[in-house]
Amino acid sequence: MIEEIKEAISLTQAGRFNEAENIYTKLLAENSENSVLLSAIGLFYINVGNYDKACEYLEKACKIKETFGTLSALGFAEYDRENYTKAASVLEHTLKFGENADIYSRLISSFFGIKMYKKAIEYSEKMYELYPDDVRSIINMVKSLTKSGKLKEAEKLCVETLKKDMNQAGLWFQLGFLKELLYCDDKQARECYKAAAELGAENAEYNIAVCCQKLGELENAEKYYKIMLDKFPNSTETKVSLGMCYLMQKKFKEGYELFYSRKDTPLSDLTNNPWKPNQELADEIVVICDQGFGDHIQFIRYLPFLKDKKVQIAARKALRNLFKINYPNFEFIDYSEINPNIQAIRITDLAYALNIDFDNIPYSKGYLNIQKSEIKSSKPKIGLCWEAGSAAIRTMINRTINIKCFDDLFKLDNIQLYSFQVDDSLNGNEKYPQMINLAKDFQDFSDTAAALKSMDCMVTVDTSVAHLAGALGVKTYLLLPYASDWRWFRDTKTTPWYKSVEIFKQTDSISWEKPINDILEKLKLLH
């Protein structure tokens, strides 16, 4: 049998795959429980790019006898078919039998892929200790330092390594990301990504496009997104980003055609009958609240246009009570209660399905209401929210403002400040005890809404509270970053979504001084 396996390996190396497969098939008929043969077949399928079959045979081989070679091959095959959870489990187990840089590299990437960051950091440190000169060790160490918040250390390691060897695409890529996070310097970041692109980094053009978009160079952003789509035509991330680039320019149909492909809440996981573009809405539908709380609040305004249909709305628990109060004729359900056979549409696609473009945004004066909380003060009541929550670190950092930037606000003696910051990672409530913390008592968004209705003005970054205040018609000063989200378009003063919201936008990508000072001048006039 060993001679036949050697012959099959030679045929595989010569590209004569059918002949090799025939040999393996004949051998398998007589030796179905031979771990060496099963392992060889698994490696054959890795060579021909059939990772599903490779995993099938390698798993069988491992059940009979675990060896370093078979386990590592199974881990690599699981990694290559993007089953990162299984890959991480197998590769971590493989380290009991032996180790090499390839195993560590894919193990760490797997842990990053499934967001098990502590494990990724743990093994990055070990790999760097064992293989300090392997560029993959250095890249993983940079990523781990970044994820640990040690951005300066990550930058230093990048720069020191690049001084020795300028031809490391991965390090240029990581350095670009660090320029964004550390300095909000999209111009320098873009140059780093361009260097990475010239050296063959796969996703560099995407990051160049993001930097261009953040710099307001939308034509250049479109150009690089399209380069990415030429290289990776099935890239959902790139399609969605290009779509948002179009939406920012109020290109309604062009933007939504691409934005529809997003996977934040995959319709396929919740329904067998998703609404698709150019399809009529059925008489019975379920509206799925997708993406973040702010999106749910912003797009719930379109519900009245469905009043002639039988409609259920699958919404997150924190918003259900508020929505029920305002839309009593609609049925609100949990995601687990969705009937998968009823036509389903994401709430953020309602405008697209109803063909209500951005020149005809409804209910801009407000569309939510609630009994206000009794909050007494002899001074004007000003709400404050300074942090934005997001799954993406880029977005979170871009929208969040360090509480210290509001220092002069806390010195005003003609107003009373109230905190609406639920997730206070910057410890603003602790640092400024003169601000009354309302957020600590919020159980859901109906509590937040009731408190908002009692405010004379809300000062907030781009987060769900901004949308809630606008939907309630509460006077709001919205602080927007220079590279703001698509839904604010390129507006710098007002927004067609909410009449009660006034925009105060950065004039560059670094300083918040001017927009905050402009708000301060307005607040000084309150009595």
Give me the tens of pLDDT residue by residue for the chain, a chain 527 residues long: 888 888 989 999 999 999 999 998 998 888 889 999 999 999 999 999 999 999 999 999 999 999 999 999 999 999 999 999 999 999 999 999 999 999 999 999 999 999 999 999 999 999 999 999 999 999 999 999 999 989 999 999 999 999 999 999 999 999 999 999 899 899 999 999 999 999 999 999 999 999 999 999 999 999 999 999 999 999 999 999 999 999 999 999 999 999 999 876 667 789 999 999 989 999 999 999 998 999 999 999 999 999 999 999 999 999 999 999 999 999 999 999 999 999 999 999 999 999 999 999 999 999 999 999 999 999 999 999 999 976 566 677 788 999 999 999 999 999 999 999 998 988 999 999 999 999 999 999 999 999 999 999 999 999 999 999 999 999 999 999 998 999 999 999 999 999 999 999 999 888 999 999 999 999 999 98
Residue 156 CB contacts under 8 Å (≥ 6 apart), including other chains: none
Q: Would you say 59 and 78 are in contact if contact means Cβ atoms under 8 Å apart? A: no
Residue 24 CB contacts under 8 Å (≥ 6 apart), including other chains: 8, 37, 40, 41, 44
Best CA proximity match to 347, nearest among 300, 293, 382, 400:
300
Tell me the C-alpha distance between 103 and 40, whole Å.
19
Q: Which residues pair with 419 in a beta bridge?
A: 384, 437
List the strands of the sheet with 416-419, edge to edge: 436-437, 416-419, 381-385, 457-461, 476-480, 498-505, 494-495
CATH T-level fold of 202-262: 1.25.40
Domain locations in the chain as residue ranges? 202-262, 267-354, 381-524
Tell me the C-alpha distance between 381 and 368, whole Å.
21
pLDDT score at 513: 96
State the DSSP code for 372: P
Residues in the chain: 527
Tell me the C-alpha distance between 409 and 210, whole Å.
33
Q: To 10 degrees, what angle do helices 236-248 and 204-214 make?
A: 20
Tell me the C-alpha distance between 435 and 410, whole Å.
8
Residue 76 CB contacts under 8 Å (≥ 6 apart), including other chains: 46, 87, 102, 106
Q: Would you say 456 and 382 are in contact if contact means Cβ atoms under 8 Å apart? A: yes
pLDDT score at 425: 84
pLDDT score at 508: 87
The token duo for 17 is: 């795959």
For 291, the 3-state DSSP assignment is coil
Query: How buried is residue 15: exposed, middle or buried, by Cβ count under 10 Å (0-12/13-18/19+)?
Result: exposed
Beta-carbon count within 10 A of 517 CB: 11
Tell me the C-alpha distance between 472 and 457, whole Å.
12
Q: Would you say 58 and 27 are in contact if contact means Cβ atoms under 8 Å apart? A: no
Residue 60 CB contacts under 8 Å (≥ 6 apart), including other chains: 38
Q: What are φ and ψ of residue 285, in 5° steps?
A: -140, 160
pLDDT score at 264: 62
Give just the sign of the alpha carbon dihedral 367, 523, 442, 497: positive
How many alpha carbons lie under 13 Å from residue 201 in its C-beta half-sphere?
A: 24
Give just the sign of the alpha carbon dihedral 251, 256, 259, 261: negative
The secondary structure of 8-74 as a DSSP string is: HHHHHHTT-HHHHHHHHHHHHHH-TT-HHHHHHHHHHHHHTT-HHHHHHHHHHHHHH---HHHHHHH
C-alpha dist (Å) from residue 183 to 155, 176, 189, 509, 512: 11, 11, 9, 9, 13
Domain 381-524 matching CATH 3.40.50.2000: the answer reads yes
